[in-house]
Structure 1
């Protein structure tokens, strides 16, 4: 299965109450549509072959016989179709009636999962007709043979690694301890639910939260198919709200009061990778043995979701798209950063902070965070010492912004021109001032760091680091230069998010003069300003040298958060940045990222302390225990191979 994606569908057929012939035909019709659209797993509502609202007609043998004939119709229709289908119907066994989800694949009935929690309150009277299902599987007679029947059935795909499916029926997911908990602990990565949940005011929001929440706590995919139009409206209305969720995210949702089929591509590698990291997630095999699970195996002839993905791929995974959510996220992150610095200042007894202020994004954010921390401590802002250190590459624009910003927030400002000291140092080591190599650049960065440390000693303060996570991932920092500080407030903030944090502060600070300078900082090209300017303008643009940060942050997220392979990240990047970056450009900068990420770990292995703000961080004491001497060969070779294959197409 390419990149671990599987296409799933949740379908609501229009039904006629007790008309099993019509209902079977509608299920078969939708199955055909799902097959044409590449669905490998398709889920239909509870009791949809009869309709959920048959009431006492469930005691009629004619209806039960009709349901079985409709099931035969569905089974025949799956022959030759490379898809697994779950469909709801009543099932008689041992003189008792059960509400089951039947699993059908390629002309064969694989198993029956009975509903174990029967609602018998308010509008529900299921115990009048059905018995609670058995957990431990037993054999149920079918067509001269038997099929397994029980709640503890899992359906495992032999040639799609990571695909193991468990099933619930409606109310099962609404109870305090849903069967899906046990199923996922036993190894299920995808849950299906054949449901008939009626509509009442506000129930749709709760239903969505319920399904998404269950997918989150169980780190699974969840495919929920609900009954809709066609059910009896004698006392109830069914809205057909179908949902497909993955680890807390709603990938697809149907409209209410309209019978629809929804599709989405579940990412099994994301789910299995997440579980692998969680040492608290149990090992499924032991639980399957202890709870007497039966695993029914099947296979797909083409377990491949190789076409266009039916899921959004966010080009900015660190940044929420919704304005309200983004504002809340920015406020939260600023508070986390400030709280971290506040504690460190309190613990060390420092009443001063020292920041190298450049007029760039990172030092701007560090200053804003420090201001917030000082306000929390009740310390005067003038005890924040901002040091601007112009040298060969400093431009009037960044210098002016640094000075204006410091004044507007009420911090103190020291200007220390380092041209003379750097020039003297270059003379000492025999460095030609006209040779603008790495020594020329790094000599300035280390001189600035030395000054900041010494000024901190002078005032009894702490050097607040400014470097962000994107730079640390790429190793775009001078070792023992801007790489070093006494507390790095931006250490787990990616560059794409730094920009939004500064913009949020500008939008909400309520001070026009400060906001204006922050907006100008946002419009300034990202640069270390270590090379002389050209015609007064910045000559050294970081993204021209190491690549666009929006690409690198995308790579960083999927490499560290989910451990995706290079081929998958390359594919996702092509989707996310379609129309913005050509394939060769994505390949070029992804290769640069891997090469630098591996070779520059030695810088991350000795990072200063700093607060983690999101799900991805590079602290050597926490999220990234990576050896400094690891080789990137396997990753680069796979990337080269997949890019070569793409070019041959």
Structure 2
């Protein structure tokens, strides 16, 4: 009986670090051979450049650097191991998203991705030409059909690969995470396997890249669509799968199947991974954030500590006259619970000095949100000063509900380099906070149970300006992620007054979101790469 050991290399490349990614691949092959006696090692899509390389692909030196990396791999990769790895390349037929096959110092063939996604966060047609031909590589008696990511979702390249004689379908992937994505993938891959009557190997990358985050979860399904092996989510590593040839059919043996994390855990891990990789890959020493005693900054602090460790996180309370004593106490208690550096920097003097400076200019004008925004902007000044002095990135703490309707202050609480909660609705902030406390105490219960408030005016609550968050988030999800019209949302049972108010706020706040820090995308449609609206426009929702 023949057998073949294929190792799925679920790794975290650094975009643009072509030499470093090549070294990561060389070391992974060495380890796969030593630890798992690998016959084949498969890496994710565009691994040598990292995914997505975006306009780095236009750099003239890109091809030269890739040629050097591939030459080094040909020289250094362990012999008697076949390597399948992703990279871009100029070829006679155009510029392609490629999977190359290396064996015993020679590059034996290349496959050009055929299905180029051009929706949501993907814009591969900006860079690549589609391929048209299958690639079947025989190794150890098994005929491996090579695919790249969207080819699996499209389906036509799968059928082409099967018809060309593939025994096993091997797909290189850079599939970003969003809520419910792992279950969607498994359903689709099982369907593709049953259609083709071939096993499917899905190798995904892991780690954060700007607003995208990749969850791993590499897996193998057999020809009947049954899950046989699944690698852990949110962990780098090498996952072996042994194929055996029984009566001419190659079948994956059952192996370790990691359980899917729960909904809250999966989302929380995405936020931690995105923040950790953004800070570490960018070279920051750590982060500093304003800790207000509210739930958003409390959850952000817990995420930062889990991502970086308490020694790399600083929390700053910046109280003013409207800051309740309970907020001061709860902020201090959370800092103690999580073991971070903590200090209190009152802003009354700064605010009063700013008001005094502006008094003549503002003479005769009533007080309004201008004075409230001054408080937030004074806090932003302090946080940026700490950032400059200590080399810490400012972590902002606004959630998706607030970012959607513009319930935030430009150059105030929006000041910073990254926002872990940018794509997390307020209702999910509460769910995540409660889940985090089931792991160990991290957020004081009073923070979770108190009515939310910006504390910029006496007795202020968020509900003074916005519908309740259950209602607000339900409207936002329909308007932002499903592109439902105001009229359709009203027809779904929501009050017209609430709907028109919310959609107008969303449309009016686009200019703010364009100036907001980057944050990890965890929903099917976040603010950023996959939602592009003009700032200046005459579109009006119907009334």
Residue in 1 that maps onto 2:500: 591
* TM-score, with structure 1 as normaliser: 0.43
Residue in 2 that maps onto 1:610: 519
- 1:402 deviation in Å? 0.6
Contact preservation (8 Å) 2:400, 2:421:
yes
Structure 1 segments of 4+ aligned residues over 3 angstroms from their partners? 212-218, 431-436
List per-residue Cα deviations over 1:535-578 (Å, max 9, x = no partner): xxxx111122122121221111111222122222112234xxxx
- 1:394 deviation in Å? 0.3
Task: Report the 3-state secondary structure (helix = DSSP H, G, I; strand = E; otherwise coil) of the residue aligned with 1:480.
Answer: coil
1:391 aligns with 2:320: yes
Quote the Cα distance in structure 2 between the aligned partners of 1:433 and 1:405: 43
- 1:213 deviation in Å? 4.1
Contact preservation (8 Å) 2:394, 2:415:
no
Contact preservation (8 Å) 2:406, 2:505:
yes
- 1:606 deviation in Å? 2.1
The one of 468, 487, 504 equivalent to 2:435 is 504
1:522 aligns with 2:431: no
- 1:478 deviation in Å? 0.7
The one of 440, 449, 459 equivalent to 2:390 is 459
Quote the Cα distance in structure 2 between the aligned partners of 1:433 and 1:367: 41
- Please show how residues 188-227 of structure 1 align to structure 2 within 5 Å: 213=187
- 1:632 deviation in Å? 4.3
Residue in 2 that maps onto 1:469: 400
The one of 410, 413, 418 equivalent to 1:487 is 418
Residue in 2 that maps onto 1:441: 372
Quote the Cα distance in structure 2 between the aligned partners of 1:443 and 1:348: 31
Residue in 1 that maps onto 2:234: none
- 1:476 deviation in Å? 0.7
Quote the Cα distance in structure 1 between the aligned partners of 2:275 and 2:315: 16
Quote the Cα distance in structure 2 between the aligned partners of 1:603 and 1:406: 30
Residue in 2 that maps onto 1:246: none
1:402 aligns with 2:331: yes
- 1:215 deviation in Å? 12
Residue in 2 that maps onto 1:627: 534
Contact preservation (8 Å) 1:598, 1:631:
no
C-alpha distance 456-217 of structure 1, shift in aligned 2 (>3 A): farther
C-alpha distance 488-502 of structure 1, shift in aligned 2 (>3 A): same
Residue in 2 that maps onto 1:45: none
Quote the Cα distance in structure 2 between the aligned partners of 1:497 and 1:432: 43
Contact preservation (8 Å) 2:379, 2:412:
yes
- Please show how residues 255-334 of structure 1 align to structure 2 within 5 Å: 328-334=262-268
The one of 480, 491, 496 equivalent to 1:560 is 480
C-alpha distance 352-214 of structure 1, shift in aligned 2 (>3 A): closer
List per-residue Cα deviations over 1:222-254 (Å, max 9, x = no partner): xxxxxxxxxxxxxxxxxxxxxxxxxxxxxxxxx
C-alpha distance 435-364 of structure 1, shift in aligned 2 (>3 A): farther
Quote the Cα distance in structure 2 between the aligned partners of 1:393 and 1:433: 24
Quote the Cα distance in structure 1 between the aligned partners of 2:348 and 2:452: 22
Residue in 2 that maps onto 1:545: 465
Quote the Cα distance in structure 1 between the aligned partners of 2:366 and 2:346: 21
The CA RMSD measured in Å over matched residues stands at 2.9
Task: Report the 3-state secondary structure (helix = DSSP H, G, I; strand = E; otherwise coil) of the residue aligned with 1:573.
Answer: coil
* TM-score, with structure 2 as normaliser: 0.51
Contact preservation (8 Å) 1:337, 1:489:
yes
- 1:421 deviation in Å? 0.7
Contact preservation (8 Å) 1:472, 1:604:
yes
Residue in 2 that maps onto 1:353: 287
Quote the Cα distance in structure 1 between the aligned partners of 2:424 and 2:190: 24
Quote the Cα distance in structure 1 between the aligned partners of 2:480 and 2:191: 21
- Please show how residues 65-84 of structure 1 align to structure 2 within 5 Å: none
Quote the Cα distance in structure 2 between the aligned partners of 1:436 and 1:361: 28
Quote the Cα distance in structure 2 between the aligned partners of 1:215 and 1:487: 34
List per-residue Cα deviations over 1:331-368 (Å, max 9, x = no partner): 11221111112112212322231010001111011101
1:370 aligns with 2:304: yes
- Please show how residues 109-258 of structure 1 align to structure 2 within 5 Å: 213=187
Residue in 1 that maps onto 2:201: none
List per-residue Cα deviations over 1:429-448 (Å, max 9, x = no partner): 11589954111100001110
The one of 525, 531, 549 equivalent to 2:457 is 531
Quote the Cα distance in structure 2 between the aligned partners of 1:547 and 1:216: 42
C-alpha distance 524-434 of structure 1, shift in aligned 2 (>3 A): farther
Contact preservation (8 Å) 2:478, 2:489:
yes
Contact preservation (8 Å) 2:423, 2:520:
yes
Residue in 2 that maps onto 1:422: 351
Residue in 1 that maps onto 2:106: none
- 1:602 deviation in Å? 0.3
Quote the Cα distance in structure 2 between the aligned partners of 1:508 and 1:465: 24
Residue in 2 that maps onto 1:60: none
Runs (5+) with no aligned partner, structure 1: 1-179, 183-208, 219-323, 376-380, 533-538, 575-585, 641-649
Computing the radius of gyration from Cα coordinates, the structure with the larger value is 1
